[in-house]
């Protein structure tokens, strides 16, 4: 890397960014001008001197990745995207934080051209950056050959005090240090300000020493406000380190140039009009013009864009040559970049018949993974220190580890996340955001709650992340109520664009994986049992893929029992007992509410039909079942510690007791009289998959 050379437009370009930040936030009368103004110099140096990307093709695969973890500073990112020539106009900047604009209040992946990951909840973007770096290291190790360094990009993360206070960033940073991710460079905006004021009130640790303990290289720049050469040198030094991620602590003044610079008053509030005018005058810009961009500023950024276009063109030529020499690897790489699954992969999914042995659905999950992992190399798995319980590491998998550890290699597809559920979930979002990878991660269902922030952003960002969530009810037994999820399922079922699968047997487990792997823009949680489950009469992969189906049919029924997962077999036992007492009972398995909701209204009404009461049974909170049933039986409080069959008996989740409950429901509705209408029939909530 050559030495820093000043450009005649450096000062005016940085002034432009600062003034635009003030204008953008000022016009919206909402937002955060302080961090963009403080970080303008480092943003300018990074993007004009180091960053490799082509604004005319924001999806060029080997582009450098940029993450704004302190997403409240998004005015900075939007300004840079506009100056570089991404699909973001000056009019878009003027619509900052307005309804349906391309410049929302925090960066949203898939919404604004050039945004890699959705950030805003602090720390998430930092952990996403670790995932992006892992992805590059893995794909580079898998596909690069001598003379063909196809995948070699860097990941740059801007991060702030708030991000580094959040536990999710600490979890991810710890793992990144262990994994020796030399392709990851985080630039820490050390401005000493948070919403409550000076960070002296709550955040006084030595951040550099903490990161050194994680195994990071740490560098610092004492004057991030104007010392462009030191900023340049720090980034150049970071790029030289190949065996450690780097944290650059950049001392900046929040709201630099404003009358309120250095105070929390400029963190999350627009500048006053006179302050904006004075700032522009100070920086040599016309005080009477808003959203002003000098020609010199556009010119220097258009030079960067032209450089990026040339880099991509050269890369495309290199890939073409690679295809000539390594046709099989080329075909595989291009398939994975396109997000296409291999033809016929689904034929490997296990199929079961009722006579097959009962097995825990976590074991059925392992059988699926063992069948598909060799066929789908894009599957990159891992567990939060529960591999032997989650059953997620198949015999063919190699650990993703630095070769120097002797524990694996970067070609490996199994990540040992350690006890870091939240970091794991956020890293998985970064893995998917990179492309060419479908991540699956694992823990106990109860501990998915630790990762709720990352799961929510998976759904919002349309990341295809698969959660293997075992030990999914009071059926885990002896570990007791601290580990038994009660409220977790309804929390996850309530998240938009998240498929929560709770399979009842082998075919339903295969269906859950089929859905999770083909729903390219939706994360999935597979809720799996510790205890053995029998294979059901009437279950098939095809039927389960509708999200709900009749597993036991009778005509002229007195009752329908609807259930999911481990309780479906209990419902079938109850139905048999009721039948012996002359009470005709249908049973419906509803493994995935969100998939069932997508089915045609006619089908759904054939499954949960009018004419008889519907009773829902699940060994979890019953909240939410009102949408599909007239009555619900389940847990109204915490579980208990003991052998799982005893725990089920304690809470009445047995065939005989559910039969007794069902009889009570039938008697109540007969006494009540009148027509029993399906709960799916509503005045304002369409049952055709479109919801208000």
* Structure tokens belonging to residue 129: 């950056």
Render the burial of 135-147: b for 16+ CB within 10 Å, e for the rest.
bbbbbbebbeeee
CA dist., res. 28 & res. 270, Å (int): 8
How far from 208 is each of 382, 576, 627, CA to CA, in Å?
29, 66, 52
C-alpha span between 419 and 683 (Å, rounded): 47
Grouping H, G, I as helix, E, B as strand and the rest as coil, residue 400 is strand
Cα 34 from Cα 18, distance rounded (Å): 9
CA distance 309 to 85: 11
Q: Tell me which H or E stretch contains 620.
A: strand 614-621
Is 590 in contact with 547 (CB distance < 8 Å)?
Answer: yes
Of 89, 45, 46, nearest in space to 67 by CA: 46
Q: How far is CA 124 from CA 160, 305, 322, 501, 604, in A?
A: 12, 28, 36, 25, 38
* Distances from the Cα of 373 to the Cα of 42, 66, 348, 499, 511, angstroms: 42, 30, 10, 21, 16
- The Cα 268–Cα 194 span in angstroms is 9
Closest CA to 586 of 622, 559, 616: 559
DSSP 145: B
How far apart (Å, rounded) are the C-alpha atoms in residues 640 and 619? Answer: 12
Three-state SS string over 304-316 comes to HHHHHHHHHHHHH
Residues 623 and 575 sit within 8 Å (Cβ to Cβ): no
Which of 421, 508, 618, 631 is catalytic? The answer is 421
Write out the H or E segment, with its range, that includes residue 464.
none
> Token pair of 263, please?
């105070």
CB 475 within 8 A of CB 529: yes
Any residues with CB less than 8 A from the CB of 96 and at least 6 apart, and which?
Answer: 24, 25, 27, 28, 31, 75, 78, 103
Residue 278, burial from CB neighbour count under 10 angstroms (0-12, 13-18, 19+): middle
CA angle (162 as vertex; 39, 81 as ends), nearest 5 = 35
Tokens of 237: 């030094």
Cβ atoms 381, 392 nearer than 8 A: yes
Helix ranges (DSSP H) in 180-214:
207-214
- Give the tokens for residue 556: 């002229």
Gap between the Cα atoms of 626 and 492, Å rounded: 16
Provide the pairing of β-strand 549-552 with 559-563: unpaired
Q: What's the CA gap between 61 and 204, in Å, rounded?
A: 40
116 as an active site residue: the answer is no
SS3 190: strand
**Would you please indicate which residues are annotated as catalytic (active-site) residues?**
421
């Amino acid at each position: 890397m050559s030495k820093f050379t000043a450009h005649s437009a450096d000062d005016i370009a940085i002034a432009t960014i600062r003034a635009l930040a003030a204008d953008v936030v000022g016009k919206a009368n909402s937002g955060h001008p302080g961090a963009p103004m403080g970080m303008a110099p480092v943003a300018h140096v990074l993007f004009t001197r180091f960053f490799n990307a082509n604004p005319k093709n924001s999806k060029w695969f080997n582009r450098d990745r940029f993450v704004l973890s302190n997403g409240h500073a998004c005015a900075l990112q939007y300004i840079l995207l506009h100056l570089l020539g991404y699909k973001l106009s000056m009019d878009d900047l003027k619509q900052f934080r307005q309804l349906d604009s391309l410049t929302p209040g925090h960066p949203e992946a898939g919404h604004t051209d050039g945004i890699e990951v959705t950030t805003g909840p602090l720390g998430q973007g930092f952990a996403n950056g670790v995932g992006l770096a892992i992805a590059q290291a893995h794909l580079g190790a898998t596909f690069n050959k001598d003379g063909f360094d196809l995948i070699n990009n860097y990941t740059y993360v801007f991060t702030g005090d708030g991000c580094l206070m959040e536990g999710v960033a600490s979890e991810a940073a710890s793992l990144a240090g262990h994994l020796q991710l030399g392709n990851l460079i985080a630039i820490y905006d050390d401005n000493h300000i948070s919403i409550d004021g000076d960070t002296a009130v709550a955040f006084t640790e030595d951040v550099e020493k903490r990161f050194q303990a994680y195994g990071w290289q740490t560098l610092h720049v004492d004057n991030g406000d104007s010392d462009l050469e030191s900023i340049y040198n720090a980034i150049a030094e970071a790029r030289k380190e190949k065996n450690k991620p780097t944290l650059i602590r950049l001392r900046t003044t929040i709201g630099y140039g404003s009358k309120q610079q250095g105070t929390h008053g400029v963190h999350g509030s627009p500048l006053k009009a006179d302050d904006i005018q004075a700032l522009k005058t100070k920086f040599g810009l016309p005080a009477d013009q808003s959203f002003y961009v000098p020609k010199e500023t556009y010119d220097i950024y258009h030079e960067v864009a032209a450089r990026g276009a040339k880099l991509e063109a050269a890369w495309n030529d290199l890939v073409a040559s690679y295809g000539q020499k390594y046709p099989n690897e080329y075909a595989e790489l291009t398939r994975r970049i396109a997000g296409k699954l291999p033809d016929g992969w689904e034929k490997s999914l296990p199929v079961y018949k009722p006579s097959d042995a009962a097995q825990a659905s976590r074991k059925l999950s392992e059988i699926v993974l063992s069948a598909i992992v060799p066929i789908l190399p894009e599957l990159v798995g891992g567990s939060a220190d529960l591999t032997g319980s989650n059953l997620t590491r198949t015999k063919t998998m190699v650990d993703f580890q630095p070769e120097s550890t002797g524990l694996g290699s970067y070609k490996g597809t199994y990540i040992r996340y350690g006890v870091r559920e939240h970091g794991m979930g956020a890293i998985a979002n970064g893995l998917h955001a990179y492309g060419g990878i479908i991540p699956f991660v694992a823990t106990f269902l109860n501990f998915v709650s630790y990762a709720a922030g990352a799961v929510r952003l998976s759904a919002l960002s349309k990341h295809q992340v698969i959660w293997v969530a075992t030990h999914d009810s009071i059926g885990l037994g002896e570990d007791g109520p601290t580990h038994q999820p009660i409220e977790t399922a309804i929390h996850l079922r309530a998240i938009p664009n998240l498929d929560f699968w709770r399979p009842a047997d082998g075919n339903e487990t295969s269906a859950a994986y089929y859905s999770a792997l083909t729903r390219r823009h939706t994360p999935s949680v597979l809720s799996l049992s510790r205890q053995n489950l029998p294979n059901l009469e009437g279950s098939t992969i095809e039927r389960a893929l509708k999200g709900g189906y009749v597993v036991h049919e009778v005509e002229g029924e007195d009752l329908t029992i609807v259930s999911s997962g481990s309780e479906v077999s209990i419902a079938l036992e109850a139905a048999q007992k009721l039948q012996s007492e002359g009470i005709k009972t249908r049973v419906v398995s509803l493994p995935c509410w969100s998939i069932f909701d997508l089915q045609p209204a006619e089908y759904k009404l054939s499954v949960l039909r009018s004419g008889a009461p519907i009773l829902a049974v699940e060994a979890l909170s019953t909240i939410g079942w009102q949408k599909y049933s007239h009555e619900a039986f389940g847990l109204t409080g915490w579980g208990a510690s003991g052998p799982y069959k005893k725990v089920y008996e304690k809470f009445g989740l047995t065939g005989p007791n559910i039969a007794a409950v069902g009889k009570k429901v039938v008697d109540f509705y007969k006494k009540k009289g009148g027509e029993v209408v399906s709960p799916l029939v509503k005045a304002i909530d369409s049952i055709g998959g479109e919801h208000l």
